[in-house]
DNA sequence: GAATCATGAGAAAGCGTTTTCTCAGAGCGT
DNA sequence: ACGCTCTGAGAAAACGCTTTCTCATGATTC
């Protein structure tokens, strides 16, 4: 009995707009108006409403708002691995920048499972006003197909052919060339590139950069060793690196370099006296390794905040489809102590 | 003209339940039923609906669902600083564990601004089904008052008096005692504790642990130096540490220890030959520093997943208020290479 | 003083779902 | 055959808010 079949629910219910309206003796429309300052409302009434609101500790339900407004004030980010400092930094920069504009970020960790990325991104998009996607291993075709469905979208380290999705990328090809150049100018003649995951887009970029390097430096011996993208894979490559006889090692990234550093240390190989090692990314820890790591610094903190700026641009100009910026960062070689001239030219 | 004043919107509209219903020739109620498998529905009709759904690529709008269901399948986490590996690890563990149960996580970084934490937590709570709160510096009174309003809540490294909010904490007091004990048993007699942020709850715990240690070891000289919680503060303390004349340093955490390590290295002080240094937390990088860091390992990956488990318990037993578990982890001392017997007993 | 206008508040539709309520029709027993 | 129960589908309410529409009231103007 009672008026509605759900009347009972109203006990222990969270305070809603209706409660405020009742207390202030106005309609909920008016409450909404004063809360959002949308239309002109009599100052006296407005004051009464506001008083009622604070007294009841009224806080608008964001889900209701979202449904009515068609926006969630939330953006999603999908990353392949939250354990990677690079993605941690992007997430952090994004979160802080977005927060400044009143947006929150929802995170989706694909745990390196490439096949899940598209699904996660889609789900995130439905819950959020936009998505920033880090999917280094997703196939180009899949990305191309997925991108338009995600629309407010910004890509990290990937680009699409269609020019309407902004992307931020790092010129890994140039960075790795500069690192190689650095080693060569120190006197190294035998290098090895300890490569990253096979299907990683950024690894491919490094590879083409190194091809170019080879073309320009035919005198340099540059070997390629397969590895992964984390500590352990760097550590596991220690023996192979030693066996290679190279004096200069280009590790896929800082994590790999650090794993390698620790492996070499265990084996009693001195860095940089016996072998020079470079990383990539300049994660916060890179300058605290022993020896401090020579690496290619990518402006990791800016990436996140710029990602947000690009996202915001899209959200604001909703509709008016325009060509989006494709930002590319040039890494800057950060010479520290893990590289030096090779001690003696080894017999070749 | 047209039927409603918003009819125009229906162009370029996302496909909704109504579209599926129309295509399948049923009511939207029926579509909902087959999508959720809630009530029995004729297999033939169900098939028709499902076909229509896939053909239109229908994906239910989560905001609509959330409003109707009163849940968002999302939990929030508020952390003081996403740059800290400890919180990164908690976030990661939480995110992965929650994802396994179909939940997502929304992140709120308070950027160390204690006064924002309560607000952020409140906002997060309104958007989510629960909140996990890391607020090491929030005043006890404020926490006590805030906790009930956040209800499905799990606290990290904080506890409340009211026994109905689960909390996960690390026994920092015990851990620091064991580290001190370790140094003493190596032969150190002059120690300094390089403390963390003044109002940090976990710092206070370390302090009481050390008081107890002092009581048990009146013969040991234990000085206290004020510091912070990150790399830089550890680095900045280098001179003070050297000046202290101590041979065994208990750093607030691994970050501080690493900063100190690098500062000592720059000054030519050898670790562990001249000075022994310990950290706390055992962040992933701790075993790759040079020398590898002796530290107290907290099961950082478990923290996140256990936080989710406790959260899930609360979400499931919604209503039936029961006493919640207060989990406490005992850190395990991880002896590596940054600690050793002091070279010579310095003149005292 | 009557007609016009501006102001501002309430009624109601709409956002996209789920779920209750209700009722038509089929199947069954007697 | 009649009425009964049962199955299953549609109508409509509900979730909590925003916003359009509408209309009353008081102010303004000729």
Q: Report CB contact under 8 Å: B63, A96.
A: no
Q: How confident is the model at residue A4 (pLDDT cuts 50, 70, 90)?
A: very low
| Chain C, protein-covered positions (CB within 7 A) | 7-21
pLDDT bracket for residue A285 (50, 70, 90): confident
Tell me how far apart the alpha carbons of residues B211 and B214 are, in angstroms, rounded to a whole number: 5
pLDDT in the model for residue A39: 77
CA torsion angle B175 B177 B178 B184 (round to 10)? 150
Give the mean model confidence (pLDDT) for residues B59-71.
95
CB B207 within 8 A of CB B172: no
What confidence category does residue B317 fall into, taking pLDDT thresholds of 50, 70 and 90? confident
CA–CA separation, B160 vs B165, rounded Å?
7
B127 interfaces chain A, CB cutoff of 8 Å: yes
Query: How far, in Å, are A78, A81, A138, B104 from residue A113 at the CA level?
Result: 12, 9, 10, 17
CA dist., res. A9 & res. A307, Å (int): 43
Spatial distance from the CA of A14 to the C1' of D6 (Å):
39
Domains of chain A: 7-60 (1.10.260.40), 73-170+300-329 (3.40.50.2300), 172-298 (3.40.50.2300)
> Which 8-state DSSP code applies to residue A14?
P
| pLDDT band of B323, cuts 50, 70, 90 | confident
CA closest to C1' of C21 belongs to A5
Chain B contact set for A105 (CB, 8 A): 106-107
Please name the nucleotide lying closest to A58, CA to C1': D16
Alpha carbons within 13 A on the beta-carbon side of A187:
12
pLDDT in tens, B175-200: 999 999 999 999 999 999 999 999 99
Q: Where are the alpha helices (DSSP H) in chain A?
A: 17-24, 28-36, 43-55, 62-69, 85-100, 114-127, 140-146, 172-186, 201-216, 231-236, 238-244, 254-266, 300-316
pLDDT at B348: 44
Q: Which two tokens stand for residue B314?
A: 């609360």
pLDDT digit string, tens, across residues A7-47: 333 445 689 999 999 999 999 999 999 999 877 888 888 99
Size of interface A-B (CB pairs under 8 A): 116
Q: CA quadruple B220, B224, B228, B232: dihedral positive or negative?
A: negative
Closest by CA to A311, choosing from A146, A136, A94, is A94
User: How many Å apart are CA A147 and CA A133, to the nearest integer?
Assistant: 9
Averaged pLDDT for residues A48-56: 93
| Percent of chain B at pLDDT exceeding 70 | 94
Place of tokens 């197909």: A145
Average pLDDT, chain B: 91
Q: Kind and range of the H or E element at B82?
A: none
Residues A261, B288: C-beta atoms closer than 8 Å: yes
pLDDT digit string, tens, across residues A200-255: 999 999 999 999 999 999 999 999 999 999 999 999 999 999 999 999 999 999 99
Nearest to B110 by CA among B75, B134, B146, B74: B134
A64 CA from D14 C1′ (Å): 13
Q: Is B90's pLDDT higher than 90?
A: yes
B345 — pLDDT class (breaks 50, 70, 90) = low
Q: How many Å apart are CA A172 and CA A178, to the nearest integer?
A: 10
Q: Which residue of B has its CA nearest to A60?
A: B126
What does the DSSP assignment read for B239-291? HHHHHHT-SEEEESSHHHHHHHHHHHHHTT--TTTT-EEE-SB--GGGGGSSS
State both tokens at B169: 């904490």
Which of these, A195, A202, A139, A201, lies nearest to A172 by C-alpha position? A202
Residue A78 sits at the chain B interface (C-beta within 8 Å): no
∠ Cα A323 A328 A332 (to 5°) = 165
Q: Residue A127's closest CA among A154, A150, A96?
A: A150
Judge whether B315 is closer than 8 Å to chain A, CB to CB. Answer: no
Are B151 and B126 in contact by the 8 Å Cβ rule? The answer is no
Alpha-carbon distance B298 to nearest alpha carbon in chain A (angstroms): 17
A82–B95: do the CB atoms touch at under 8 Å?
Answer: yes
B107 touches chain A (CB under 8 A): yes
**CB of B340 within 8 A of CB of B186?**
yes
Of A99, A262, A288, the CB nearest to B109: A99
* Cα A117 to Cα A133: distance, rounded to the nearest angstrom: 9
Q: pLDDT for B91-119, tens place per residue?
A: 999 999 999 999 999 999 999 899 999 99
Establish how many alpha carbons lie within 13 A of residue B106's alpha carbon, considering only the half-sphere containing its beta carbon.
Answer: 27
Burial B257-290 (b: 16+ CB within 10 A, else e): bbbbbbbbbeeebebbeebbbbbbbbbbbbbbbb
Which token pair is B110?
A: 């308070």
Mean pLDDT score across all residues of chain A: 91
Q: Read off the tokens for B74.
A: 């999302």
- Angstrom distance (rounded) from CA A189 to CA B348: 54
CA distance A215 to chain B (A): 36
- Residue A155: helix, strand or coil by DSSP? strand
End-to-end CA distance of chain B: 95
| Interval B44-55 mean pLDDT | 92
CA B237 vs CA A121, A156, B3, B255: distances in Å: 45, 38, 73, 13
Within 8 A of B124 by CB-CB distance, chain A residues are 104
Chain D positions within 7 A of any protein Cβ atom are: 7-21
For residue A78, CA distances in Å to A87, A113, A285, A341 come to: 10, 12, 24, 41
Residue of A62, A108, A265 with shortest CB distance to B127: A62
Is 50 exceeded by the pLDDT of residue B39? yes
Which carries the bigger pLDDT value, residue B267 or residue A325?
B267
The residue that minimises its CA distance to C1' of C20 is: A5
**Inter-helix orientation angle A300-316/A85-100, to 10°:** 40
Question: Counting beta carbons within 10 angstroms of the beta carbon of residue A288, is it exposed (0 to 12), middle (13 to 18) or buried (19 or more)?
Answer: buried
**Per-residue pLDDT tens for A138-191?**
999 999 999 999 999 999 999 998 878 999 999 999 999 999 999 999 999 999
Report CA-CA distances (Å) from B156 to B98, B159, B167, B246: 16, 8, 6, 33
CA angle, corner A247, sides to A204 and B337, nearest 5?
Answer: 95
3-state secondary structure of A38: coil
Distance from CA of B63 to the nearest CA of A (A): 6
């Amino acid at each position: 009995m009672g008026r509605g079949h759900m009347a009972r629910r109203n006990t222990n219910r969270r305070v809603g707009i209706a409660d405020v309206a009742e207390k202030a003796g106005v309609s909920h429309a008016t409450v909404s108006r004063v809360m959002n300052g949308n239309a002109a409302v009599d100052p006296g009434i407005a004051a009464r409403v506001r008083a009622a609101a604070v007294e009841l500790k009224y806080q608008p339900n964001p889900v209701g708002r979202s449904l009515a407004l068609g926006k969630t004030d939330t953006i999603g980010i999908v990353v392949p691995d939250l354990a990677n400092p690079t993605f941690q930094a992007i997430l952090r920069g994004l979160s802080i920048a977005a927060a400044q504009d009143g947006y929150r970020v929802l995170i989706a960790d694909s745990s390196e499972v490439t096949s899940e990325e598209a699904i996660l991104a889609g789900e995130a998009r439905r819950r959020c006003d936009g998505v920033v996607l880090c999917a280094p291993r997703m196939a180009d075709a899949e990305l191309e197909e997925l991108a338009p469905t995600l629309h407010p979208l910004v890509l990290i380290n990937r680009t699409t052919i269609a020019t309407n999705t902004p992307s931020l990328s790092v010129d890994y090809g140039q960075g790795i060339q500069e690192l190689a150049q650095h080693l060569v100018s120190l006197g190294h003649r035998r290098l090895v590139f300890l490569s990253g995951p096979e299907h990683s887009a950024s690894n491919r970029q490094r590879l083409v950069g190194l091809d170019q390097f080879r073309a320009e430096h035919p005198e340099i011996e540059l070997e390629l060793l397969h590895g992964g993208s984390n500590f352990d894979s760097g550590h596991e490559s220690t023996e192979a690196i030693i066996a290679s006889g190279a004096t200069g090692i280009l590790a896929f990234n800082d994590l790999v370099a650090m794993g390698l550093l620790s492996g070499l240390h265990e084996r009693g190989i001195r860095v940089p006296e016996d072998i020079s090692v470079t990383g990539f990314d300049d994660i916060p820890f890179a300058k605290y390794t022993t020896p401090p790591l020579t690496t290619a610094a990518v402006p990791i903190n800016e990436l996140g905040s710029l990602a947000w700026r690009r996202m915001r641009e899209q959200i604001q100009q909703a509709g008016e489809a325009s060509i989006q910026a494709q930002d590319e960062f040039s890494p800057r070689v950060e010479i520290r102590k893990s590289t030096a001239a090779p001690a003696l030219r080894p017999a070749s």
